[in-house]
A and B are shown apart, each in its own frame.
Chain A
Amino acid sequence: MPLNQALVGKEYPALTMEVDRDAVDRFAEAIAEDGAVFRDAEAARAAGFPEQLAPPTFPTRMQIAVSASIAADPDLGLDYTRVVHGEQAFEWLRPVHVGDVLTAAPRIADVRAKGPLEFLVVESEIRDAAGEVVVRARTTLLSRGPGGGAS
C-alpha cells in the first residue's frame, strides 16, 4: 500500500525530555565516547560549558521516539517492521548538556516513492526550556525491499 502523501506537513504531538546524567553516561558509554566533557561535569565546566555535555547524537533518543509514533500513525499506511533508517541529519546550534529540558516538535517533511522503496522524512525542531532551537533533526526512514537495505 503506498504511503499517504496527504500527510506531508502534518505535525505530531511534541515530546519533552529532561537530559539526565544517567542517560548521558549510558549513551556515552555505549558509543565509546571517552571525551572528558561528555563524562564529567567539572571537566565540562573547565572547558567553558555549564554542565556535562551530551554526545552530539544524543537527541537520537527523542528522534527515535517521535519517528516511531509517526510511523505508527494508521493514516500513513507504513509497515514499521519493514522500515530501516536510510539517512540522518542534525544541525546543532549549541551542545546539549545535562539538565536541559528539551522539546521535540515533529512533522512529516516528505513522503515519496523511488522504485520499490518508499521514503518517510520526519523533521523535528528541538528547543530548550527557554524556547531556543538547540538541534534540528531530520530522519529518513525507508521501507525495506527484497535484499535488505541499511540499518
Chain B
Amino acid sequence: MKTRPRLEDLQIGDTIPTLSKVVRREEVKAYADASGDQNPLHQDDAFAQSVGFPGIIAHGMFTMAHVTKAVTDWVGDPAGLVAMDVQFRAVVFMDETLEAGGEVKAVDPETRRVTLSVWAAVERDEKRVLAVKNSTAVVRLD
C-alpha cells in the first residue's frame, strides 16, 4: 500500500502526481451507459460534426471523474474527499491523452483540510489545452 500524504509535510505549491490516460471511444460509450447521459454529442460522430466538432467528445463528467481519481489516488482514502468544483473549459476528443493533476493552495491544521487547485489537460496540435481549469478540490487528511 502506498504512503498517504501527511498534512505536516505539505507545502503550498506542492503538486500531486499527474494521472494520465488515453481516452478511448469504448470507454466514452461505456460512460454514456453507466452515467445515463446519452447525448449524441458523445456517441454519434455525424451529430458531433453537425455542431462543429471533428468527432464525438468525452463527457465533461468523464473528465471530472479522471480529475477526482487523481485526487483520491493521492489522498489514499476515499473518505478523505470533501468537495470539488470544476469548470469545463475545453472539449476532449477520442484517442487524446488526458492528464489530470493538482497543486496545494492552502493547508489548515485545525480542520485537517487541504485545498488544491485541480486541472485536466490534453496535448493538441503541439499545444496544451486545459479541459478543466479554475477548479478546486478540498480533502481531509487524518
Contacts and interface: CB of A to CB of B under 8 A. Distances in A.
Contact of B87 (A26, A29, A47, A87): A87
Interface of A: 23, 26-27, 29-33, 35, 37-38, 47, 49, 53, 55-57, 60-61, 64-65, 84-92, 94-95, 138, 144, 147-148, 150-151
B16 to A, nearest CB: 15
Given A57-B68, A85-B61, A150-B88, A91 B82 contact: yes
Interface in B63-104: 63-66, 68-69, 72-73, 78-79, 81-92
A27 B68 CA distance: 14
A92 B81 contact: yes
A31 B100 CA distance: 13
B33 A26 contact: yes
Interface of B: 21, 27, 30-31, 33-37, 41-42, 51-53, 57-66, 68-69, 72-73, 78-79, 81-92
Contacts of B64: 57, 88
Given A35-B78, A57-B61, A92-B82, A151 B41 contact: yes
Given A38-B78, A55-B65, A57-B61, A89 B84 contact: yes
* Interface residues of A, dominant DSSP: mixed
A90 B78 contact: no
> What 8 pairs across the A-B complex have the smallest Cβ distances?
A150-B88, A30-B30, A89-B85, A31-B65, A85-B60, A30-B31, A27-B34, A151-B60
A23 B34 contact: yes
Contacts of B37: 60, 64
A29 B79 CA distance: 20
